[in-house]
Structure 1
Amino acid sequence: MSKFDRPQPPIFERVEDERLHRKQRLAATFRLFAKLGFSEGTGHITTRDPELTDHFWVNPLETDFGQICVSDLILVSREGDVVKGNTPVNPAAFAIHSQIYEARPDVIAAAHAHSIYGKAWSNLGRLLDPLNEDACSFYEDHALFNDCADVVADVVLNTSQAEQLAKALGQNKAMILRNHGILTVGHTVDETAWWYISLEQTCQAQLLAEAAGRPDFLSHETARLAQNQLGTHSGGWFNFQPLYDRIVRDQPDLLD
């Protein structure tokens, strides 16, 4: 490795070690989301199990993000059964995340919460524009799900509606759920968490820019170049590492 090479996501020899790693990152993400004010309502963040790949780990229903530890996470099967843990699963979390994992074998984690700027931007029913280099991470790499306002209640109990949501996501890393909020996916929990945080801030930046005047967009060529450089899986993972280190230092009980 040269002095300019960045660290990369770890590779595990034992599935048990990889499972623990994903769960630790997931618990840390809940704590970070709580600290950032993303914990309103019943959001859900999940990670695919590395061995039972049609199962995923998720937060238990009605548990505050700021209190979640590794031991609180529950494992849910593709049928919606809780196979590890003693608390129920959020039906919406099962419906949405099960369909995303079914449609996207590459996805290891997915995040959806009810953060304020994501909710505000989603009301406009538009994709985000390339206003700055951070926004370019999502250039031509996020989707819009227009039907969310009509089907959000049905998604809870109807996986066919969630299937349409997963189809709308396509191969993108993020999605605007019209009149509802935002969602991100990734090849690691770390990446997924970072994209969610960055997408929320991108929504905030564009709302502020449009409130102040008429924003100036970057050109397609510049935005495409920035996306290729900044919007990578490894880039998303790398940017999350300082946040993980800080939350574990400040709240070490999350690893319990």
Structure 2
Amino acid sequence: MATAAQTHPMSDAEWQARQQLAACYRIFAHMGWDELIYNHISLRVPGEEQAFLINPFGLHYSEVKASNLVKIDIDGNTLDRSPHPVNRAGFVQHSVFHRHVPDAHCIIHTHTTAGMAVSSTQEGLLATNFYAGFLVGNIAYHDFEGVTVRTEEGARLVANLGDKRFMILRNHGLLVMGQTLPEAFLRYFVFERACEIQLATRQAGTPLIIPDEVLAVHKRDMFSAIPAERFGMLDFAAMVRVIDRIDPSWRD
């Protein structure tokens, strides 16, 4: 049987990117980080700075494959022959970052219970656990303006992001970006875990804030053994093996 790469000619780099992104969608479904047919993970097409891949609107994350991802440009034009539409909210939010943030090659946005709960509190994420200690001070915040379908909100999103690559969309959810997909994946894992543990901490008792001097040491030392260019690679590869054992159809 012919592969999608054979029936719809594309570069080897694009096909590899499609497989990597499809794997990420399946991992998110496996982890319970999906939300019916909503939310998005997008990835720039290698060698095509104005083009990125995103999920086809209407499919569950567990149905995403390398071949059915949609390739669009930052103006919203479909660049392949995909029969699937792209969700307006996903396009508006992701395209503005792909357009204005040069190192935002992969962007992840979710509506998990933990992420939305923390985003809906006045204090946001607190330095009360191992994971949050790494993130506090590295998180941007953007006030809720309603569903993200208006392009004029884009300028405020970019301005509020600044030099951060973790963002809490208040009353909305979590957003991360990375120079590679594995980097964005591990950043998201840390972010989500920090929020989950914060919710559990509030139920368990009075949150214990980590002192500033300990936070400084923690941020310095965390992940110090992992070369920056390999950040997230082993973690992502391990999860790819997990989903491969469950259903390898994401590769198609």
Alignment partner for residue 106 of structure 2, among 101, 109, 112? Answer: 109
Residues 19 and 125 of structure 1: is their aligned pair in 2 closer, same or farther, counting only changes over 3 Å?
Answer: farther
2:220 matches 1:228: yes
2:190 matches 1:190: no
2:33 matches 1:38: yes
Alignment partner for residue 75 of structure 1, among 53, 71, 76? Answer: 71
Residues 53 and 112 of structure 1: is their aligned pair in 2 closer, same or farther, counting only changes over 3 Å?
Answer: same
Q: 1:113-128 alignment to 2 at 5 Å? A: 113-128=110-125
- SS of the equivalent of 2:132 reads helix
Q: Does the Cα contact within 8 Å between 1:188 and 1:237 map onto a contact in 2? A: no
- SS of the equivalent of 1:72 reads coil
Which consecutive unaligned segments of at least 5 residues does structure 1 have? 1-14
| Partner in structure 2 of residue 248 of structure 1 | 244
- SS of the equivalent of 1:54 reads strand
Measure, in 1, the Cα distance between the counterparts of 2:229 and 2:116.
Answer: 25
Structure 1 residue 200, shift from structure 2 partner? 1.5
Alignment partner for residue 87 of structure 2, among 82, 86, 90? Answer: 90
User: Structure 1: which amino acid aligns with 2:146?
Assistant: V
Q: Does the Cα contact within 8 Å between 1:186 and 1:233 map onto a contact in 2? A: no
Structure 1 residue 233, shift from structure 2 partner? 6.4
| Partner in structure 2 of residue 4 of structure 1 | none
Measure, in 1, the Cα distance between the counterparts of 2:134 and 2:230.
Answer: 12
| Partner in structure 1 of residue 146 of structure 2 | 152
Q: Which moved more, 1:129-138 or 1:106-115?
A: 129-138
User: Structure 2: which amino acid aligns with 1:46?
Assistant: S
| Partner in structure 1 of residue 127 of structure 2 | 130
Residues 66 and 161 of structure 1: is their aligned pair in 2 closer, same or farther, counting only changes over 3 Å?
Answer: same
Residues 230 and 238 of structure 1: is their aligned pair in 2 closer, same or farther, counting only changes over 3 Å?
Answer: farther
TM-score by length of 2: 0.86
Residue-pair matches, total: 237
Residues 130 and 205 of structure 1: is their aligned pair in 2 closer, same or farther, counting only changes over 3 Å?
Answer: same
| Partner in structure 2 of residue 58 of structure 1 | 54
| Partner in structure 1 of residue 7 of structure 2 | none
Q: Considering only aligned residues, what root-mean-square deviation do their CA atoms show, in Å?
A: 1.9
Measure, in 2, the Cα distance between the counterparts of 1:240 and 1:228.
Answer: 23
- SS of the equivalent of 2:11 reads helix
Q: Does the Cα contact within 8 Å between 1:139 and 1:227 map onto a contact in 2? A: no
Q: Does the Cα contact within 8 Å between 1:22 and 1:189 map onto a contact in 2? A: no
Structure 1 residue 50, shift from structure 2 partner? 1.2
Deviations 1:76-106 (A, max 9, x none): 1121011112211111111111111122101
- Percent of aligned pairs sharing the same letter: 29
Q: Does the Cα contact within 8 Å between 1:58 and 1:74 map onto a contact in 2? A: yes
Which consecutive unaligned segments of at least 5 residues does structure 2 have? 1-9
Q: Does the Cα contact within 8 Å between 1:111 and 1:184 map onto a contact in 2? A: yes
Q: Does the Cα contact within 8 Å between 1:169 and 1:175 map onto a contact in 2? A: yes
Structure 1 residue 123, shift from structure 2 partner? 0.8
